[in-house]
Structure 1
Amino acid sequence: MVAAHCLTIRQTGLLAGTALVLALLLPVLGDGSEPPYGLVRALIVTLGGLLCVAIARRAERQHADLTRMTRIAERAMIPSLPAELGGVRLTTHTRSATRNARIGGDLHEAIATPAGARLIIGDVKGHGLDAAHLSAAVLSAFRRTAATAPDLACLARDLDARIGPDLGPEDFVTVLLAEFVPGAVLLVNCGHPAPIRVDSRLRVLEPPRPCPPLGLSPHPYVWRVRLQPSDRLLLFTDGFTEARDRSGTQVPFEEHLHAALTAPTLAEALRDLLDLLRPDHSTRTRPDDLTLILAQPADAPQE
């Protein structure tokens, strides 16, 4: 019975068959002093094996159904961003630190508003279901208010207020909000890794002054960064800053990233960037959640 819950159908069947063979061989290998109960024993083992196979088949179907439901929930919580939104081209990559799941502590979303495309990327403290629950709360709040908030600072304050009931005493969420307007991008950074503008070189867009994450009494403010049609903006979570290349060393920004991020199209640029990275399975610490968003004004030519 334990095998039926722990093994696949094929493995359970092989185990039951082995038990049946042993049950049939025991009378032959014995010294003949015991009554000939071999057939009865074989029948019991056979019935038990069939029952175990049936249980294993049911458990496998339930696991498949649960996997499908999980994938549907993941797509509902963190849908793929459109290739173009509000005059901005977008491409995205996500990876959860939780095995066989997309949902983790990272979050992202983009919404078209009258002011322009507004985007959020964030990172919840921790991993697993608790982090996924808080990520869902932040995304829900963003979807409700992103289109109506007068500016990004008001949006950040509203997010902080709305997720308050979902925060534990030590919980917090780093977020970066971006609003794309003609010739520029407006940013609010609440404790999140600074984005990178890609032009003739890489420019890390550190905020003029620090602001705490959501949940730690942030005092958000908006600042404006020039964004030419040929410029690109890379937004990411700390899984990127902690990522390592194929040699096991941290990715050197200036040497390899610029070449990757200036590929002819956004899709190629993201692919080349991912080629530089790998999950760090060689260390004892598990890889962190990773989210990458590459954005560019839609009026930029694509080769």
Structure 2
Amino acid sequence: MRAQWALRWLPFAVMLLVALTDLVAGPSLGFLPLLTLGPTFASVSGSVRRTAVIGAVALAICVPLAYYNDLLFRWQNNLTIATIISVTGASMLASHLRLRRERELANVRLVAEAAQRVLLRPVPRKAADLQVALSYTSAAAEARIGGDLYEVVTTPHGVRLLIGDVQGKGLDAVETAAWVLGAFREAAYDEPELSNVSERLESSLVRHLSGEKFVTAIIAEVRTEEITLLNHGHPAPLVISANGKIGSVEPPDEGLPLGLGPFAADRPKPHHTPFHDGDQILFFTDGVVEARDVAGTFYPLRERLHFLLDDDPQAALDALRADLLRHVGGPLLDDAAMLLLRRT
């Protein structure tokens, strides 16, 4: 708000400074051409009409100062007036183009938000005996969606979830994420075993992916007193037990990402970890742990898990995300998704 206020009054401040300087210096130095700074600065934040008004104000200042300096109707002053008019016209055009670009960008953001609502639906805040929280930060400055994906569904086989990261960026990554999510939403309801869900996702990606594209992912299913995970080359989640102990749920065998199934001798196998009342499990993409500060230091996720002690899981995850952004000190270089489950 303060920056907008400064930009709004900057053209008038600059023209006043030029006028005062010209009065003090006299006609010998010729500061009047600098009045063109007024409409130039106006085009940065103002409308076309406001830019034209500020250009008229610049002319209104120029004429009496030229009379005071005994320059009226001389070629130097005529050239200054022509310059002010020309710069004002160019600034009005620049303002028009900027406003059109802003409208186009606003439309792109509306489309991105609509696409996000279809592709990345809001996860339920509660699923069975679980509290669910989500944080998603896109690295694209002009978009709300990227290559990370997530889903939580309640099925006849229990609560199942998916978190993943598509290789690459841009619209190709979003399209691939759509294929994975569509396949998971169907398979999670139909297939009684996680391995079968994995096979359905692999088959769908093999049909639609080209080249050596892939998706790292974790498919999980919450059961009584435990959670079953199937890891396809994705960063291992962290479990925070009710007594505060932190552990990483590493898979027993390294599994290839989805989409690279034809190159694998064995498919990854489900593994289990205890998940009792009061326990939490944090799933995340590599955009979280690979985020760096200005010194190049990776984000120390395990050291910051104390933020997850808040009674409200979503407030806890929001606090962790805010700490991540403070660590980076600017925009993220990669999409960052975090999914938190808390058993109550």
Given the two structures, how large is their TM-score scaled by the length of structure 2?
0.70
Asked whether 1:178 is paired with 2:224, we answer no
CA shift in 2, pair 1:138/1:8, >3 Å: farther
Report what 2:28 is aligned to: none
- Assess if the C-alpha contact under 8 Å between 2:47 and 2:95 holds in 1: no
Report what 2:282 is aligned to: 234
CA shift in 2, pair 1:226/1:11, >3 Å: same
**Which residues of 2 match residues 164-203 of structure 1 at below 5 A?**
164-199=206-241, 200=243, 201-203=245-247
Q: Deviations over 1:84-137 (max 9, x none)?
A: 123321000000111132211110011110011110000011222221121122
Number of equivalent positions:
288
Q: Structure 1 unaligned runs (5+)?
A: 1-6
CA shift in 2, pair 1:276/1:18, >3 Å: closer
CA shift in 2, pair 1:18/1:188, >3 Å: same
Instruction: Return the match for 1:278 from 325, 330, 333.
Output: 325
Once residues 160 and 204 of structure 2 are traced to their aligned partners in structure 1, the CA distance between those partners, rounded to angstroms, is 18
Report what 2:147 is aligned to: 105
CA shift in 2, pair 1:256/1:9, >3 Å: closer
Asked whether 1:69 is paired with 2:116, we answer no
| Displacement of 1:75 | 1.6
| Displacement of 1:271 | 3.3
Given the two structures, how large is their TM-score scaled by the length of structure 1?
0.79
- Assess if the C-alpha contact under 8 Å between 2:291 and 2:328 holds in 1: no
Report what 2:336 is aligned to: 290
> Identity, % of aligned pairs?
32
Letter matched to residue 339 of structure 2: I
Q: Which has the higher contact order (CA 8 A, sep 6+)?
A: 1
Asked whether 1:140 is paired with 2:182, we answer yes
- Assess if the C-alpha contact under 8 Å between 1:85 and 1:112 holds in 2: yes
CA shift in 2, pair 1:46/1:197, >3 Å: closer
Q: Deviations over 1:227-278 (max 9, x none)?
A: 1011111100011211357997434455442x22333331343134234322
Instruction: Return the match for 2:166 from 110, 119, 124.
Output: 124
What is the DSSP-based 3-state SS (H/G/I as helix, E as strand, rest coil) of the residue aligned with 1:133? helix
**Which residues of 2 match residues 33-48 of structure 1 at below 5 A?**
none
Instruction: Return the match for 1:250 from 293, 298, 304.
Output: 298
CA shift in 2, pair 1:232/1:56, >3 Å: closer
| Displacement of 1:14 | 5.5
| Displacement of 1:15 | 5.3
Letter matched to residue 211 of structure 1: G
CA shift in 2, pair 1:230/1:52, >3 Å: closer
Q: Structure 2 unaligned runs (5+)?
A: 1-42, 64-71
What is the DSSP-based 3-state SS (H/G/I as helix, E as strand, rest coil) of the residue aligned with 1:147? helix
Which protein is bigger by CA-based radius of gyration?
2
Report what 1:213 is aligned to: 257
Report what 2:13 is aligned to: none
CA shift in 2, pair 1:182/1:277, >3 Å: same
